[in-house]
Amino acid sequence: MMLIALAGHLMAQVQTQSVRGTIVDADTRQPLIGATVLIMGSDPLIGATTDLDGRFMLEKVPAGRIALQVRMLGYEEQTLANLLVNSAKELVLDVRLQESLVKLEEVEVSGKKGHGEVRNDMAVMSARKISVEETSRIAGGINDPARMVTVFPGVSGDPTGNNTIIVRGNSPKGVLWRLEGMEIPNPNHFADDGTTGGPINVLNSDVVDNSDFYTGAFAAEYGNVTSAVFDMKLRDGNDRKREYTLKAGVLGTDLTAEGPVPGVQGGSYLANYRYSTLSLLDQAGIVDYQGVPKYTDAAFKLKLPTAKAGTFSLFGIGGRSNIDQKEESELGDTLFATAQYGSRMGVAGITHTLLMGSNNFLYTTASLSGNGSGVDYFESPAPGESPLVLRHETDFARTTMRASTTLNTRINASHKLRTGVIFSLDRFRMFANTFDRADSVMKVNLDQQGEASTVQAFTSWKWRWNEQWSLTSGVHFLHYALNGASSVEPRAALRYQRTPARAFTLGAGLHSKTESLMNHLVRTTDAEGRTVQRNRGLGLSRAAHAVLGYEQLITEDVQFKTEAYYQYLYSQPVEDAASSAFWLGNTQEWYTDKPLVSKGIGYNAGVELSVEKFFTRGWHALATLSIFESRYRAADGTWYNARFGLGAVANALAGKEWKVGKADKNKVLTTGARYSVQGGQWQTPLDAEASIAAGYELESTAFMSFKGDPIHKLDLVLAYRVGRAKVSHEFKADVQNVLNAQTVVYSYYNSSTKRIEGVSQLAILPVMGYTLRF
């Protein structure tokens, strides 16, 4: 009887896990000794105090959702809500507290870090934290941060399936990706040079830490960008014990391993490898169809603290992808074309954080990155004829060395300075040989090797003159050696915290971006038959941003936010022809061989609203609405609708967690839904008769006069998580476009069928997956 009772008692025990971390000063990165950490609502109370290294440990924390309250005398209190404690994996936190303006003897310190607030306190507005945990439970996110951000106001995705994003009417080309504080190439599979998106992200969600996303009026440290910034971080591995995560699903099969580095106090490693599941099934003969996407990627981070020389980290990500495709008749008896495409990218680097006295720290990064792609496209010389002949071949390769260093200085609780320099050197090889259908001859548009360097410098100052008012100001400098262009960009932002629940923001600044190397190096033939590069000296594309914002905490877990913005675009690349309406800002990939000049102008203007119910009491919800207009003026002096001026974007989503079974069982069912609608893109109608007569695609003269139909999409997510002692299982289904809407996104002329055909939004796509943590 005693054995039966003991067994029953053990089975009824609540599963627990450790929660630990480090608490440091946000401005100096000095460890904070004596800070208190409490689990809110715990009974009996669970808490701890930080040691000499700023570390804390909470043991035997029940698995599930918790909220932590962090306090330190002389610092603003911080609440970390909605933390998920997994029975199979320790929760390790890095907490940064802001020094309070209130005198030390006034123990009660107000001011809490807001939901979704970014870590970079120099960013006052148009900024949002990308939470890894949040990404995993939002319908349609499929654990991809680039897809998750499309729920934010002013952001929309690519309806055809890529994770390319459109921000406030700007071309996706204007998005900047950063990793560990350094610009990186497009981190997506099947991506071309000059693009910023792709169907599958190389960055695996299991190695990414909470990161930041910015949509305008950027802080002074962000340069060479006009649209949006992804500022990503890799998380540190567990420095106390080894842990593993195994995933298998539609998007890939991968393994993540982490643990302590022997002999290094506080040292840790983190490594991940993923391989295309469809490729594995294809090699096993389980699936058999043409066009199987094949890709593989990996990531790592090695953290190496030292006693006196600071903390070093080695990091890297990389991926390769390729696909072979065929275009055949409906019966499969006629081969029209074949294409072999491949791409690759990789980054390896080192970071160094050095504490300098009690009020300074220096952050330095050096990296080596590479990316490239290649295409071989063969086509039938005429419908039904063989053999196929080469019509398009490309080979792009680029290697970039980058180095940056940033000095952070806290003068006192009211004043903070940040100053840095960034240097990059590109070495490139670019070749493109394309069939000119008008002249019926192959032409080499790109064929060059060389190098190009970029120098950037910035300084920013934050002044908190009381608990209500704060001012951030600075300047960014950019110089591009390829064309000799330079830009000096002043920026400023003001925040007025009227009450703890209400705030007003105002920001403005100048920004600029280099165009892709392909557009600079493309070559054409002049009237005398000479090969020339007419766009090599093309200048920087520039923009002036202004944003006015308001936010209101309606209740403790419901927030309303709105921003109105105006972006004036100038020095924009347009075709150098008095009768032309061409603007490079209407493109999102590849290059043009048209002669360009930096004489175009344009604007994006809009209003964004959001109401968010934070994840509390087991559920969350978000509704967003963006209304905007985007127009430009080309060399012909006429104003046109910009391609990405969608007009309106709206989202409504909600999710809930349900505890299944008895209270002591760690079983959770997660459900979520998202409905989104976005306006269609502006297009120039195709001239069917002229295209048929010419044998290739020709546009009408009604430039940018047709607006596509609105895109509607419903996504659903369902997940079931089962926790056991030291092991957890999760089964997940994330279904995109549940209603299988098939709205046409854009049209093209098919020379094989001699018809104008449409490309529809991505059909229903169930993304199934299983995760094992141990």
477-493 per-position pLDDT tens digit: 999 999 999 999 999 99
Contacts of 239 (CB under 8 A, 6+ apart): 92, 260, 261, 266, 267, 268, 303
The DSSP symbol for 196 reads -
Q: Is 349 helix (H, G, I), strand (E, B) or coil?
A: strand
Handedness of CA 679, 682, 688, 693 (dihedral sign): negative
Tell me the C-alpha distance between 100 and 110, whole Å.
Answer: 9
What's the chain's Rg over C-alpha atoms? 27
Tens-digit pLDDT profile for residues 360-398: 999 999 999 999 999 999 988 876 677 888 889 999 999
Q: How confident is the model at residue 290 (pLDDT cuts 50, 70, 90)?
A: low
507's tokens: 């920001």
Strand partners, 297: 274, 319
Asked if 764 and 247 touch (Cβ cutoff 8 Å), the reply is no
Tens-digit pLDDT profile for residues 326-351: 888 776 678 888 899 999 999 999 99
Tens-digit pLDDT profile for residues 210-259: 889 999 999 999 999 999 999 999 999 999 999 999 999 988 999 999 99
Mean pLDDT for 517-528 is 90
Residue 646 identity: L
pLDDT score at 10: 38
pLDDT score at 111: 46
Residue 183 has pLDDT above 50, yes or no: yes
Asked if 78 and 37 touch (Cβ cutoff 8 Å), the reply is no
Residue 707 has pLDDT above 70, yes or no: yes
DSSP letter string, 674-686: EEEEEPPPEEPPB
Tens-digit pLDDT profile for residues 52-82: 999 999 999 998 899 999 999 999 999 998 8
Q: Tell me, letter by letter, the H, E, C secondary structure of 252-269.
A: EEEEEEEEECCCCCCCEE
Asked if 359 and 28 touch (Cβ cutoff 8 Å), the reply is yes
Residue 280 has pLDDT above 70, yes or no: yes
**pTM for the full model?**
0.92
pLDDT score at 670: 95
Q: Which of 446, 308, 438, 302 is nearest to 374 (CA)?
A: 446
Chain-wide mean pLDDT for the chain? 91
Say whether the peptide bond before residue 44 is cis (omega within 30 degrees of 0): yes
Tell me the C-alpha distance between 440 and 209, whole Å.
Answer: 52
Mean pLDDT for 264-270 is 95
Strand partners, 448: 430
